[in-house]
Amino acid sequence: MNRVKKDDTVRVISGKDAGKEGRVVHVYPKQERVMVEGVNRVTKHQRQQRTRTGAQQGGIVHEEAPIHLSNVMPVCPSCGNAARVGAKVVSGKRQRVCRKCDSEF
Ligand SMILES: [Zn+2]
């Protein structure tokens, strides 16, 4: 089971965005990366492109880039801490638990 799911709030624990919190907008399980709102914004210098619908603006664009799972920790909705995640089985299903307050999420 993934430690982080879409729509979780996560805290960034390393890198240039350390300390920031954001909502997970996408999970890339194979790359073990997550896209987090407002985190890991990168500046791209883009060449002007022509598409079928017309000319696309070139120039400098800011967009978010996926960040590695090891650099984020989920924020527990019950206790508000960035917490390590445990697992336990509840009625046959694996459930994530906060290691700090033991609540399931
Ligand atoms: Zn908790």
Task: Specify the amino acid at residue 48.
Answer: Q
With CA atoms as reference, report the closest residue to 82 among 57, 54, 105, 66.
Answer: 105
C-alpha span between 85 and 79 (Å, rounded): 13
CA of 84 to the centre of ligand 1 (A): 9
The model's pTM is: 0.80
- Cα 92 to ligand 1 centre (Å): 22
DSSP H helices, 16-83, are none
Cα 71 to chain centroid distance, Å, stands at 9
Cα(76) to ligand 1 centroid in Å equals 5
pLDDT in tens, 26-63: 999 999 999 999 999 989 888 877 777 776 677 888 88
Ligand 1 centroid, distance to 3 Cα (angstroms): 14
Over residues 73-98, the pLDDT tens digits come to 999 999 999 999 998 898 898 889 99
